[in-house]
Amino acid sequence: MKYKLLPNIKKWNFLKLILKFSILTFVLSSAAFGQIPKEKIDALHLPWIKFNWLGDSLGNKYFDKLAIAIPFKIDSLPYAFNAQLDLGAVSTMLYGKSIVTYFQLSPELKKKLDTTQKNTYINSTPCPSFNHINLTLDKVSFPDISIANYTNFGDPISPDSAKSSTPKLIGTIAPDLFQDKILIIDYPNQRICVLDSLPLSMEKKVSFAAVKIRNGRIKIPFTINAQQHDIMFDTGSSIFPIYTSVENSAYFTTPMEMVTDTIIGQSWGQKAAIYGKKISTQVKLGKHKMPPATVYYKEDKGEKTFEDEEKIIGLTGNAYFLNNVIIIDYKNKRFGVI
């Protein structure tokens, strides 16, 4: 089944474009700080949550790793849902135009939507919240939580389609669900895990880098030409190892470097071009030298404005870590790679 992907909930105009593309193919070496064999990780018997990759077509090509989709359940509703794991978003949410059909099938769910208050802002839109929701990701429960209802967003779902067994993409899982927790993303085995504390055997093997957190968003300290700069880690940005503004692309390359890749698509109804150049400067995460990759940029002032506001020089995401297990420790503000 090919999913129709909803536009991502993003910060830059350009990122509306990202969900029309998928992960580019990069042969990346391991960015490991320490080594923990898979069998030892499995032996820890952690409460793993499986995820799936969603794909889509670009021109005449199909790309299979566009977005991370996590299967989930709402309360006791007998319907199959998917939510995108987007650590660049701020609030865990359901899409208003999609979930409204289920109000007819479950009046109890509608009663949990508090329309008297709109305290959550998503893309500057004040949104109400569902209260006392019991969310189950795969088989792991997150009881009695609040979830935003992103008003007037999402694709409408017909009653007949709502009852089918095909999972419907109707929401976003954001970092607010993991605050004061430890999130593990095991890319090779397509699973995540949420813990209160890290197993000692894993703690001893991983060397962490300190990170900054703002609104739940993680900023990783990369060293570029011996100078440290923060880059936001965003699982909603699957397509590029590094995405940045045209101005900040200068940190990663030289003016003489030629464009090696161009992606043409639609952004807010307008044709948009994303340009790629080989990274010609040394990039390190902690003590590890990052593998060869390409930096992508779009000539739009909006990107630089957001970077300045967040005090970062760009985005990194799934593309740089597909061979790795990463550990995001929200409790102690640190980031590790296996």
The string of pLDDT tens digits covering residues 287-314 is: 778 888 999 998 877 788 889 999 999 9
Distance CA 51, CA 137 (A): 9
213 located within any domain: yes
Are both 145 and 96 inside the same structural domain?
yes
Show which of 143, 178, 213 is a domain's final residue. 178
CATH of the domain at 275: 2.40.70.10
187 located within any domain: no
Are both 34 and 89 inside the same structural domain?
yes
Q: pLDDT class for 265, splitting at 50, 70, 90?
A: low
Are both 89 and 205 inside the same structural domain?
no
In 3D space, the residue among 22, 29, 25 whose CA is nearest the CA of residue 8 turns out to be 22
Question: Which pLDDT score, from 0 to 100, does residue 13 have?
Answer: 40
Q: pLDDT class for 328, splitting at 50, 70, 90?
A: very high
Residues in the chain: 338
Are both 174 and 207 inside the same structural domain?
no
4 located within any domain: no
Are both 165 and 213 inside the same structural domain?
no
Burial class (CB in 10 A: 0-12, 13-18, 19+), 331: middle
What does the pLDDT look like over 276-294, one tens digit per residue?
999 999 999 887 788 889 9
Is the model's pLDDT at 243 over the cut of 80? yes
Print the domain residue range for 308. Answer: 200-337
Are both 141 and 247 inside the same structural domain?
no
Return the structure tokens found at 328. 């995001």
Are both 62 and 204 inside the same structural domain?
no
Question: Which pLDDT score, from 0 to 100, does residue 35 have?
Answer: 60
Are both 109 and 155 inside the same structural domain?
yes
Are both 153 and 257 inside the same structural domain?
no
Are both 285 and 330 inside the same structural domain?
yes
3-class secondary-structure state, position 14: helix
Are both 268 and 171 inside the same structural domain?
no
What 3 state SS string does 182-237 have? EEEEECCCCEEEEECCCCHHHHHHCCCEECEEECCEEEEEEEECCEEEEEEECCCC
133 located within any domain: yes
Domain count of the fold of the chain: 2
Are both 229 and 282 inside the same structural domain?
yes
234 located within any domain: yes
Question: Which pLDDT score, from 0 to 100, does residue 6 have?
Answer: 39
What does the pLDDT look like over 209-225, one tens digit per residue?
999 998 889 999 999 98
Share of the chain above pLDDT 70, in %: 85
Distance CA 138, CA 70 (A): 7
